[in-house]
């Protein structure tokens, strides 16, 4: 995952399972041939002698399989082996070098940078609050709605107002949350208060990144 290989001597690159011919492994590009293959874990050198491909299957290939085989052979036509060792680069970083940050980003959201969460990490909030906000964004808080998805036997309703207990409800929609935000608005002279988790991330956190406002974040911490 993230490793892209350049075949030279073919001794270290797995024919089916590594990314070396195209953007995905050959097992992904040709799943039916991979399922039929007897060489699933073989490296390129084991199935190619420089002239002929020695890929065996557990049954005779049908008409459709033969069409896929011909397509595969067309893709492999330019492959040449030499005595240099196979090379690998890390596709998830422009530098080609592995970093734990790029792997972590890929595991979380397949490499797409989340601008909202980037705003959270760049803010001047204490680290424990950044982690807390991360948990909210990824639905890791044990709200009634989330617990119900995990077969919890209790009620998914808010104990105060008996509405569905979600993250947005706890922090913004519940009567108690609205009362607290109204108090902050009055006491600190705000023009408005956040109305949802999305509003909080889109506007408030980003404002905090550009122009740190202690009153804003202190009030959030208190809440």
Q: Which two tokens stand for residue 54?
A: 């020695």
pLDDT at 215: 42
Cα separation values, 166 from 67, 179, 191, Å = 52, 18, 26
How buried is 68 (Cβ within 10 angstroms: 0-12 exposed, 13-18 middle, 19+ buried)? middle
pLDDT at 4: 87
Q: Which residues pair with 37 in a beta bridge?
A: 57
How big, in percent rounded to 5, are the helix, strand and coil portions of the chain?
50, 10, 45
pLDDT at 48: 93
Q: How far is C-alpha 31 from the geometric centre of its chain's CA atoms?
A: 23
pLDDT in tens, 153-193: 889 999 889 999 998 899 899 999 999 989 988 888 878 88
Do residues 102 and 93 make contact, with C-beta atoms less than 8 angstroms apart?
yes
Domain boundaries, the chain: 3-89, 114-222
Q: Token pair 């699933």 is at which residue?
A: 40
Q: What angle do helix axes 175-188 and 214-222 make, rounded to 10 degrees?
A: 150
Residues of the chain with pLDDT under 50: 111, 208-219, 221-222
Neighbours of 37 (CB within 10 A): 20
Do residues 10 and 47 make contact, with C-beta atoms less than 8 angstroms apart?
no
Q: Which residues pair with 157 in a beta bridge?
A: 164
Cα-based angle 186, 192, 196 (whole degrees, multiple of 5): 120
Give me the DSSP letters along 85-116.
PPEEEETTSTTS---HHHHHHHHHHTT---HH
Q: Token pair 């009055």 is at which residue?
A: 186
pLDDT at 70: 93
């Amino acid at each position: 995952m993230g490793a892209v290989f350049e075949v030279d001597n073919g001794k270290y690159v797995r024919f089916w399972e590594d990314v070396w011919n195209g953007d995905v492994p050959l097992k992904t590009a040709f799943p039916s041939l991979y399922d039929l293959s007897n060489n699933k874990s073989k490296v390129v050198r084991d199935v190619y002698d420089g002239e002929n491909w020695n890929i065996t299957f557990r049954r005779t290939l049908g008409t459709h399989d033969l069409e896929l085989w011909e397509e595969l052979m067309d893709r492999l036509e330019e492959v040449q082996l030499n005595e240099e060792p196979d090379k690998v680069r890390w596709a998830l970083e422009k530098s080609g070098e592995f970093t734990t940050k790029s792997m972590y980003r890929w595991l979380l959201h397949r490499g797409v940078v989340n601008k909202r969460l980037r705003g959270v990490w760049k803010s001047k909030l204490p680290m424990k609050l950044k982690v807390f906000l991360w948990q909210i964004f990824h639905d890791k808080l044990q709200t009634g709605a989330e617990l119900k998805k995990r077969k919890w036997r209790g009620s998914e309703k808010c104990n105060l107002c008996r509405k569905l207990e979600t993250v947005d409800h706890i922090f913004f929609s519940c009567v108690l949350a609205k009362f607290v935000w109204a108090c902050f608005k009055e006491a600190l002279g705000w023009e408005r208060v956040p109305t949802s988790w999305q509003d909080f991330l889109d506007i408030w956190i980003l404002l905090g990144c550009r122009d740190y406002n202690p009153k804003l974040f202190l009030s959030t911490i208190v809440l």
